[in-house]
A and B are shown apart, each in its own frame.
Chain A
Amino acid sequence: MPHELETRVLLDKAEDPALATLEGYRRLVGGYGALERAYREMEPDEVLSALEDSGLRGRGGAGFAMGKKASFLPRGDMPKYLCCNADESEPGAFKDRELMQRNPHQLIEGIAIAALAAGAGHAFIFIRGEYAQQADILERAVAEAYEAGYLGKDILGTRRDLELVVHRGAGAYICGEETALLDALEGKRGNPRLKPPFPAVQGLYGGPTLINNVETLSNVPRIVANGPQWFRGFGTEQSPGTKVVSISGRVRRPGNYEVELGIPTRDLIYELAGGPLPGHEVKAFYPGGSSSPVLTAEEGLDLPYSFEAMAEAGSMLGSGSIIVADDTVSIPHMALRTARFYHHESCGKCTPCREGTNWTVKMLERVVRGEATPMDLDIIASVQQNIMGRCLCVLGDSMAMPVSAMVRKFRHEFEEVIAAASEQAGDPHAVVGAAETTGAGA
């Protein structure tokens, strides 16, 4: 039985493996009822207004209103596309994996309905290459949906067509960025594009393109089936609905928990995820994946878990992924891990990101080796400032935000690490194997 704090809508009946089959999806949760209704009884504009009225915000990171995004697509008779962003690669996020694995048809139904609203005749699921098993599950489910007449030519005899292709990526975090995803889907290296034009106007193959996250699209069938007001019955005014929150790090029961937005963050970490490991205390956490500015336990635990509360606290809900650091975790080492990730994943197209991530890694290595001075911490902070807002996409910002928050909020810990490491090293220019030192574990 799920915990009383969980509100399972997207994960309803997800404990039953049969849900992953078409037969099970229909039987257990009345699957494809919303698609039949939308295609047979509704005009595309009606579907679009239902999505707009629901206030559903994108679940991929930015939190932009999904209905509004769909409404940006121009009208008219040109080829339009829908891309489901299943390139879940943000450290800390693993909710889309669960949704695709346990309930692939919910996503397919959501894609078909959203494609109707957007007027798209071609849809793609861009799934990260590492999710091989989930890609297989989706392929099987798509084949079943074609077989049942929910995809393909003349869907349910309504003369509407939709082709859906599962496209497996090949390992690059940057492809989760929507314009890089489009390049990758067009068969190129995944480099982000200059915006504007935004994908809604000029996206895949130059045509208007709607790009939505897996969880966002998974919400669509029930909004159409039960109405926007039903959806607004969950969550808060500005963050309606439920959210699958991935909780990981130094907690007892890491995993995905579906809750109403607005639930106290403390409940998520202590009640659902079981709290810190025995004998330890929560020190800080990323509230929305590795890109979100770290919150200290004092700042963050009593905030409601919603888009607006996290923004007000100077962080973000992002993809809805909490990574908990306890007292065993050295914040400077955590900052280094974070920076290394973004350095590795930077596509190299924009100088501030390519060089900024590179130098941040080098400077943080100096910190953990004890070769830095407190002044270097100011330089690290200023490098972050010079990355923010200066690139085609926000990959560099995604490092700058958490790293600058860590340096600002835990400056004493950085200074302690420098002092301890330099004492141990003796010679300030001696090289200690920074790569081997993790500071965590235990």
Chain B
Amino acid sequence: MSPVDGPGISNPSLPVDPALTEGRAPDRPAEEIPELHEVDCPPDLRERIEELMARYPDRRSASIPVLWEIQERYGWCTPEGIRQAAAVMRFTPAYLESVASFYDLLHTRPVGRHKIAVCTNIACWMRGADGLLEAFREAVGDDTEEFFVTGFECLGACDIAPMASIDQVYYGPLEAAEAGVAISQLRAGEEVLPDKALSKRGLAGDS
């Protein structure tokens, strides 16, 4: 069996999202729009969702921003969170599930608190991304509660290859040994790899 004959993914370094292959077996009907009193939506979340919907000519456009909001609040797009959003937005939970499951950055299963995506695409691969990903996985071990490490398709930072996005901040170019450093810094609550943050780099032509 080839590596792609498994659960239907193309890149063995990427995680398999069970939601895509197994479904989520909702305990309540996903095709009915829940009423607000049924979902226990925190008032500030409701306010935020309404604010996001008001930014667009059509409230449906707020789907992705709302799912981001749910994910930031609950750590991932939980079925309860999706029902809360569905009740406020007046969409079915199934609809929001279908949107969430399409996008790589929206998680439809629990993931670790710190999210680390190592780019394994062409330019990073040429400069040692596979070793970097392995180093992050080793440094994290089985601590999936705290960390979610995954390979990722091109993150748009080939200039700092090999690189990683750690809690949505770009770092590179990274040596494999720096993976362990970054993980200890995250564990200790320290600033992560201060010298390697993309935002601190100058223009390539000026160096």
Contact = CB atoms under 8 A, between A and B. Distances in A.
Contact of B60 (A131, A186, A435): A186
Given A165-B55, A334-B126, A440-B125, 12 more contacts: A79-B57, A96-B156, A130-B156, A168-B65, A168-B68, A171-B104, A188-B99, A248-B158, A290-B122, A341-B122, A344-B14, A361-B4
A133 B159 contact: no
A138 interface: no
B57 A94 contact: no
A290 B9 CA distance: 20
5 contacts: A15-B203, A248-B159, A254-B159, A323-B123, A438-B130
B21 interface: no
- Interface magnitude class on chain B: 35 or more
Interface stretch (B27-35, B36-44, B163-171): B163-171
B64 A187 contact: yes
Using C-beta atoms within 8 Å of the partner chain, give the interface range for chain A. Answer: 35 or more
Given A129-B103, A257-B205, A341-B153, A92 B61 contact: no
Interface string A413-433: 000000000000000000100
B78 interface: no
Contacts of B117: 130
B205 A255 contact: yes
B58 A1 contact: no
A189 B98 contact: yes
A421 B110 CA distance: 39
Given A6-B205, A170-B105, A171-B106, A130 B122 contact: no
B103 A172 contact: yes
Interface string A251-270: 00111111000000000000
A186 B61 contact: yes
Contacts of B99: 187-189
Interface in A299-324: 321, 323
A192 interface: no
A404 interface: no
A49 interface: no
B158 A185 contact: no
A21 interface: no
Contacts of A323: 122-123, 126, 158
Nearest to B162: A441
B154 A341 contact: yes
A89 interface: yes
B103 A2 contact: no
Contacts of A273: 204
Query: What 10 A-B pairs have minimum CB-CB distances, sorted nearest first?
Result: A255-B204, A248-B158, A187-B63, A171-B104, A170-B103, A171-B105, A343-B10, A187-B60, A91-B154, A132-B168
A205 B58 CA distance: 8
A257 B130 contact: no
Contact of A15 (B1, B60, B199, B202): B202
Nearest to B204: A255
B192 to A, nearest CB: 14
B128 to A, nearest CB: 5
A216 interface: no
B131 interface: yes
A213 B174 CA distance: 30
Contact of A438 (B57, B125, B157, B199): B125
B169 A337 contact: no
A170 B106 contact: yes
Interface string A130-143: 11110000000000
A131 B105 CA distance: 11
B191 interface: no
A85 B68 CA distance: 20
A153 interface: no
A273 B102 CA distance: 37
A365 interface: yes
A3 interface: yes
Contacts of B60: 186-188
Nearest to A11: B203
Which of A1, A248, A347 has most B Cβ within 10 Å? A248
A184 interface: yes
Most buried by A among B10, B56, B122, B130: B122
Contacts of B61: 167, 185-187
Given A2-B205, A94-B158, A133-B168, A187 B62 contact: yes
B135 to A, nearest CB: 13
A365 B4 contact: yes
Interface centre among B5, B13, B64 (most CB of A within 10 A): B64
